[in-house]
Amino acid sequence: MKNNNLKKELSIEELLKETYIVFKQNFKNILLALIIYFPIFLLLVTAVFFRIIISESILDYLIISLLIIAMSIISIFIYSYIFLIAKNHYGFKKENLKNILKTIFFKIPKIMYTVIIMILLIIIPFVISILLAIINKWFLILIIPSSFLLIKNMYYWIFSIHIPLFSGESGLNALRISKNLVKKKWWNTFFKIFILSVISSLSSMILTGLPLSNIYLIPFIILSLILSGYCILGQAILFLNYVNIKK
């Protein structure tokens, strides 16, 4: 089985190589999903920006909130789709395209619930420390530990979005499972995700060094889509690797 490649913890070099192999073998499916996703997401971002500029009523803010929720659902969909492609590739559970889309559709509420719980638990301690610092400057000292806690939990729970798709667990259970996977590998996880994020940002770095011209726009968009897909796939493979060595 292909998941034999995941039976030991992958080094960063092995992870990047494995991600490249899986990406290459599933290039059409991943790129097609990203090409469909990108214009919809861009349209929603534009709509949110436009609404923020002209917002004058409660209705405008309600529309902005709905657009942001739609953006979140679209992003979760693309993460889920690429994760299930990786899961298929390694033979954890073979599904055709129709079943993949069906799985995502039924799991989105669980994923959204998990993401909301995760965000609240990550930001609440930090927000409380900020509010206390505003009330009294002596509480400024709390911002440092709360910032460390924010970063620590963010990486402990980095795989929470994958778990509802993999095992069906959601909410606090998904956070607990993700933490158990990352525990004792926090720094390795941080470093690997950081490298993937840098790779994903390469297109923006390249664009800033080029003269402003529409001629670079299409290549930039294509490169950005490819690198984003590569990064999302790398995170999915890292999760499957951790699951496999945990068995």
User: Looking at residue 83, what is its pLDDT?
Assistant: 86
What element of type H or E holds 58? helix 58-89
Handedness of CA 8, 165, 186, 74 (dihedral sign): positive
For residue range 49-76, list pLDDT tens digits in order.
665 555 566 666 666 667 677 777 777 8
For position 1, what pLDDT does the model report? 46
Q: What is the pLDDT of residues 21-39, one digit of tens each?
A: 989 888 887 877 777 777 6
Percent of the chain with pLDDT over 70: 74
Q: Which domain holds residue 238?
A: 2-246
User: What is the model's pLDDT at position 4?
Assistant: 64
On the question of pLDDT at 161 being above 80, the answer is yes
pLDDT band per the 50, 70, 90 thresholds, residue 3: low
Of the chain, the end-to-end C-alpha distance in Å amounts to 16
Percent of residues, the chain, with pLDDT higher than 90: 15
Report phi then psi at 109, rounded to 5: -60, -40
What does residue 93 show for φ and ψ, rounded to 5 degrees? -165, 115
**Integer angstrom CA distances of residue 205 from 208, 229, 230:** 5, 17, 16
Q: Which residues lie closer than 8 Å to 141 by C-beta, 6 or more apart? A: none
Tokens of 42: 């861009």
What is the number of structural domains in the chain?
Answer: 1
Q: Is the pLDDT of residue 202 over 90?
A: no
pLDDT at position 207: 53
> What does pTM read for this prediction?
0.81
List the structure tokens of 215: 């001629």
Return the pLDDT at 69: 72
Question: 133 or 187: which carries more pLDDT confidence?
Answer: 187
Cβ partners under 8 Å of residue 22, min gap 6: 86, 89, 233, 237
The answer to whether 83 touches 162, Cβ cutoff 8 Å, is yes
41 pLDDT higher than 90: no
- Which pLDDT does position 16 carry in this prediction? 92
